[in-house]
Amino acid sequence: MDRIAELEKLILEKRRCHLIGIGGVSMSPLAKVLFDRGVPVTGSDINDSDTVKDLRSQGITIHIGHRSENVLGAAFVIRTAAAREDNPEVEYARDNGIPVFERAEAWGVIMRHYKNALCISGTHGKTTTTSMCTHILMAANMDPTVMIGGTLALLHAGYRVGKGDTIVLESCEYYNSFLSFFPTVAVILDIEADHLDFFKDLEDVKKSFRAFANLVPVPDGVVIANIDDKNTMDAIDGIRRRVVTFGFSPRADIRAKNLVVEDGVSKFDVIYKMKTYCRVELAIPGVHNVKNALAAAAAAIELGIPGEAVTRGLKAFRGAARRFEFKGTVNGARVYDDYAHHPGELNALMDAVRSITDGRVVLAFQPHTYSRTKALFDDFAEALKRADKVYLAEIYAARERNTIGISSADLAAAIPGAVFCPTFEDLTERLRAEAHPGDVILTVGAGNIYTICDSLTEKTAQTVGK
């Protein structure tokens, strides 16, 4: 029996499952989906969190810290990509003949039971575009099952279990996770060098995306690709799959026309086969989000969704959590939080911010992982220089140990006027002192820097109350 067939059998038989890293953005919805299907679930995570508390409230037993005894009684284990072979729970499972599966393999098993499997990939924009697709599918009454790497207000969660024949998933390339998927519609937003603790270089990243595109079935599947991104087009060059392109290029199959921006709202026509498919009003700023909307519209076209559902779905979309999310004000400055953790994402964020303000931009950034910070050091420095004032929190370790000997202090030294803040308390007080009416303050990163943003706006509300 192959791995996928074995995993599918275990899930169908409702055997006890243990999830390592259960609090992660894609592990927690997986836990809920399995639990809702009647599979007994336990889990573990390094840190307690609101997500862990939510899972516990639904009856799932979760241990903080990774220990071999946590796996006792499990028939199989599903691990996050960050749980390596030396993880004590992985080691215990291997030593005791308990099969260990990857998170992506579990999602792959789940999606095989849907007619339409819409998988959104790319170095940037996955969460936003998956969220846009969710809004469209809901507007079209398709009752989708959804897995997003962030919270969507429409769902009050990052996932949804529907009864329709369509599943939409954010699909990550890290550790080749998305190669365990079974997409019928594969979207590639863009490709850049990232996750260089796993991939050798940009060419290795492109090779992974090419393999992902080749998972689409022939003749019924389709690859939806960003024609404006050279790396994407290089990756899929010559593949024997049907390809539909989107972008601003006049050669794109789906493109934007008559684009205007009014008060931060992007308004444009989506053109398909020389005709207007729909009119979009998008309330989140940035040219990159217009492209994300074009990708979502292209997916809707392939799924046979009428244009009016795209119009309604995107008009109601206000962004996903931690994607340029407005959090409040401090001393008259607007505070936004964003998940950007790659130089390309920082540049897109700065483009979006500059489109809505002429005021100062104060950026508090927490780099994510030592390996990424070192590999893209110069690119990070250049992107951060675009802000008027930069504050740097220490690097968020995530899955790594600092064997490189790098610090955010090194990055601060490469950026004129930048300030390294060794503690969140120091960073919070400096941001509060820096804030003035008309400023935009950004808390940015894939770690826990969002707590700074919450502290700023919370303390402001308390002060106003007095």
Q: Which tokens hold the place of 327?
A: 């959090």
Angle at 227 between CA 222 and CA 233, to 5 degrees: 75
Q: Which tokens hold the place of 262?
A: 């009014």
Choosing from 127, 128, 184, 428, which is the catalytic residue? 127
CA dist 53 to 45, 56, 60, 62, 378, Å? 12, 5, 9, 9, 39
Please write down the HEC assignment for all residues of the chain.
CCHHHHHHHHHHCCCCEEEECCCCCCHHHHHHHHHHCCCCEEEEECCCCHHHHHHHHCCCEEEECCCHHHHCCCCEEEECCCCCCCCHHHHHHHHCCCCEEEHHHHHHHHHCCCCEEEEEECCCCHHHHHHHHHHHHHHCCCCCEEEEEEEECCCCEEEECCCCCEEEEECCCHHHHHHHCCCCEEEECCCCCCCCCCCCCHHHHHHHHHHHHCCCCCCCCEEEEECCCHHHHHHHCCCCCCEEEEECCCCCCEEEEEEEEECCEEEEEEEECCEEEEEEEECCCCHHHHHHHHHHHHHHHHCCCCHHHHHHHHHCCCCCCCCCEEEEEECCEEEEEECCCCHHHHHHHHHHHHCCCCCCEEEEECCECHHHHHHCHHHHHHHHCCCCEEEEECCECCCCCCCCCCCHHHHHHCCCCCEEECCHHHHHHHHHHHCCCCCEEEEECCCCCHHHHHHHHHHHHHHHHC
Choosing from 170, 325, 345, 434, which is the catalytic residue? 170
Q: Using CA atoms, how far apart are residues 194 and 174, in angstroms rounded to an integer?
A: 9
Burial tier of 147 (Cβ tally within 10 Å: 0-12, 13-18, 19+): buried
Active site residue 151: no
Active site residue 311: no
Active site residue 127: yes
Do 88 and 111 meet the contact criterion of CB atoms below 8 Å apart? no
The closest of 30, 128, 79, 19 to 399, measured between CA atoms, is: 79
Choosing from 126, 206, 291, 327, which is the catalytic residue? 126
Active-site residue numbers? 126-127, 170
